[in-house]
Amino acid sequence: MSACLIALTDLLTPMRASGEDAATLLNNLLSNDLRQVRDEAGQWSSLNSPKGRMLANFPLWRQGEGFVLAPAADLANALLKKLCLYKLRSKVQFAVADDLALFAASGEEAAISAALHAAALPPLPDAPVGCARDAGGRVCVRLAASLALLSLPAHDAAACGQALHAAGLRQGTENDWQLALIDARLPLICAATQEAFVPQMLGFETIGVSFTKGCYPGQEVIARAQHLGKVKRQLVSRTLDAPAAIGSTLDDGARLVSLAAAPAGGFVALAVSAPDAAQ
């Protein structure tokens, strides 16, 4: 079939930031300009160490009374603890959003759009990180040309999933999710790659960093790397004959970021080139 529906239960964990100081605190902590997030527009962002290394990156959007962040599931607990350390006396609450269920729809744009329409779900937005929502509290975030993220109330998730399958979306797998991210060149930080890269090594500065919004942890290092052009390592595509561990170093010195089995055989991957690759 031309498109699939992937349950992200074990892949992404939705986390909610709410309270009257949530927008201000998040804008002071994250790499992107949270003031640009609106009902119709989400964004990619990251939390970084003081040395500019990425602790986590994630899509972020408005839903309900606050913001939802969706990091890799194996980073969620550590990220939650880290965010709470910054809370101090701010009127903000951080919590895992157990009331939400996340799905991805991957494949041909026309097939995804038709399935969403048939299932009476919010439509596929026109632009990447565009958001569409409905009165039932359901949100569709477009992550890439052929990839959408659905954030659904947990009590409604099973019925919505059944409707999407009935509308023609096959049941997808974790490998389908990884293939979609690799195809869209969207590198997602996980436990094995935490603190391994500054955003420019992943090309993340083009989608998840604001260079005009002001200070945040790691901002000085990231800005200096951008303006002085000292980061020579970059995100590259790879094909492999055998699988390798995420975070491991390949034969050519590149460090593996993501991996998926290719439909035609072998494996496709994203990696960060070796330190001496520019030479």
Q: Does residue 195 share a domain with residue 262?
A: yes
DSSP states along 242-277: S---TTPBPTTSPEEEEEEE-TTSSEEEEEEPPTTT
Indicate the pTM of the whole model. 0.95
Cβ-contact 70, 93 below 8 angstroms: no
Instruction: Order across the sheet with 255-261: list the strands.
Output: 235-240, 267-272, 255-261
66 plus 111 within the same structural domain: yes
Co-location of 61 and 148 in the same domain? yes
pLDDT of residue 106: 98
- 141 lies in some domain: yes
Residues 169 and 210 placed together within one structural domain of the fold: no
For the chain, the first-to-last Cα distance in angstroms comes to 44
Structural domains of the chain, count: 2
In a shared domain, residues 166 and 268: no
Q: Could you tell me if residue 254 is inside a domain?
A: yes
Q: How far is CA 43 from CA 12, 69, 163, 209, 277, in A?
A: 16, 10, 28, 10, 31
Q: What is the pLDDT of residue 279?
A: 45
Residue 91 falls within a domain, yes or no? yes
- Are both 87 and 210 inside the same structural domain? no
Which amino acid, one-letter code, is at 190?
C
- The per-residue pLDDT for 277 is 61
Rounded distance between C-alpha atoms, residue 215 and residue 52, angstroms: 12
pLDDT (tens digit per residue) in 148-202: 999 999 999 999 999 999 999 999 999 999 999 999 999 999 999 999 999 999 9
Residue 277 covered by a domain: no
What is the C-alpha separation between 69 and 88, in angstroms, rounded?
20
Give pLDDT, residue 12: 98
Q: What is the rounded (10 degree) CA torsion for 265, 267, 268, 271? A: -170
Residue that terminates a domain, selected from 143, 164, 183: 183
- What percent of the chain is predicted at pLDDT more than 70? 99
Residues 80 and 120 in one domain: yes
Question: Is 80 exceeded by the pLDDT of residue 2?
Answer: yes
Tens-digit pLDDT profile for residues 192-245: 999 999 999 999 999 999 999 989 999 999 999 998 877 889 999 999 999 999
Is residue 278, in this structure, part of any structural domain at all? no
Top pLDDT among 88 and 268 is at: 268
CA 193 → CA 55, 89, 102, 229, 245, distances in Å? Answer: 9, 31, 23, 23, 11
Average pLDDT for 117-146: 96
What pLDDT is attached to residue 275? Answer: 81
Could you give phi then psi for residue 104, rounded to 5 degrees?
-120, 140
Q: Domain with 68 in it: what CATH number?
A: 3.30.1360.120
Q: Do 134 and 66 sit in the same domain of this protein?
A: yes
pLDDT the model gives residue 88 = 87
Quote the Cα angle for 182-183-189, to 5°: 25
Residue 239 CA to residue 216 CA, distance in Å, equals 36
Tokens representing 197 are: 């890269």
Final residue in a domain of this structure, among 136, 155, 183: 183
Range of the domain at 130: 3-183
Tell me which of 160, 183, 206 is where a domain ends. 183
- SS3 for 232? coil
Residue 215 and residue 123 share a domain: no
Q: At what angle do helices 109-118 and 154-166 cross, to 10 degrees?
A: 120
| Mean pLDDT along residues 17-24 | 96
Distance CA 79, CA 95 (A): 10
Residues 138 and 9 placed together within one structural domain of the fold:
yes
Strand, helix or coil for residue 44: strand
Whether 146 and 47 map to the same domain: the answer is yes
Residue 209 forms part of a structural domain = yes
Q: Note whether 101 and 197 are same-domain residues.
A: no
Contact 59, 15 (CB under 8 A): no
CATH code for the domain of 244: 2.40.30.160
